[in-house]
């Protein structure tokens, strides 16, 4: 009887040990999208059309100083060529994300830009879908805001206080 109890206990402990060992499995999954792309495996990514700032919407060349205390003139980081920089960033991030997915076969913009308006030629070359990218609006708001803070530091000598501005 004693051997049976020991055998059953060891069997239960072994089962608990085997089932309690954690195994990790990494999986790659795609988030459901608005459009079903399951039938389209060959994807052409077409580089975005540059966003053109409107004449009344151009970023200011000098950043506004709302505090009125800035002793230097700070120039904006945005300029007329910011649209090209934005397009390069958008294209590279979309390409990086698409290439990380093993589901699609990607035709890069260097090839697919020649097909921009010729959809029948894309189908003849085996491209199932084209991804067009565009920027609808850019809002640039830069300003300088400074708040003066005072910090009171107690001196080691009793009764003396000194204030410093930071």
| CB burial string 38-65: b at 16+ within 10 A, e below | eeeebbbbbbbeebebeeeeebeeebeb
Going by C-beta distance under 8 Å and a sequence separation of 6 or more, which residues neighbour residue 64? 142, 143, 144
Residue 10 has pLDDT above 80, yes or no: yes
Going by C-beta distance under 8 Å and a sequence separation of 6 or more, which residues neighbour residue 159? none
pLDDT for residue 70: 72
Residue 19 has pLDDT above 60, yes or no: yes
Residue spans per domain, the chain: 37-155
pTM of the predicted structure, to 2 decimals: 0.53
With vertex at residue 142, the alpha carbon angle to CA 147 and CA 54, rounded to the nearest 5 degrees, is: 160
What is the rounded radius of gyration, in angstroms, for the C-alpha atoms of the chain?
31
Q: Closest Cα to residue 98, out of 27, 45, 59? A: 45
Average pLDDT over residues 116-133: 82
User: Each residue of 38-97: pLDDT tens digit?
Assistant: 788 888 888 888 777 777 777 777 777 777 777 777 777 777 677 788 888 888 888 888
Q: Closest Cα to residue 102, out of 39, 40, 41, 32? A: 41
User: Each residue of 93-123: pLDDT tens digit?
Assistant: 888 888 888 788 888 888 888 877 777 888 8
Q: In this structure, are residues 48 and 84 in contact, taking their beta carbons and an 8 Å threshold? A: no
């Amino acid at each position: 009887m004693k051997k049976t109890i020991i055998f059953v206990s060891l069997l239960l402990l072994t089962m608990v040990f085997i089932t309690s060992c954690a195994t990790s499995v990494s999986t790659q999954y795609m988030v459901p999208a608005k459009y079903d792309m399951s039938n389209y495996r060959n994807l052409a990514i077409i580089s975005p059309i540059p966003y053109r700032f409107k004449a009344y919407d151009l970023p200011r060349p000098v950043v506004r100083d709302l505090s009125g205390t800035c002793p230097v003139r700070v120039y904006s980081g945005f300029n007329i060529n910011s649209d090209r920089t934005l397009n390069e960033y958008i294209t590279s991030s979309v390409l990086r994300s698409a290439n990380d997915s093993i589901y699609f076969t990607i035709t890069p913009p260097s090839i697919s830009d020649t097909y921009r308006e010729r959809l029948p030629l894309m189908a003849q070359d085996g491209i199932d879908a084209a991804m067009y990218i565009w920027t609808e609006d850019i809002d640039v708001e830069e300003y300088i805001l400074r708040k003066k803070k005072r910090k009171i530091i107690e001196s080691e000598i009793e009764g003396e206080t000194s204030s410093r501005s930071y």
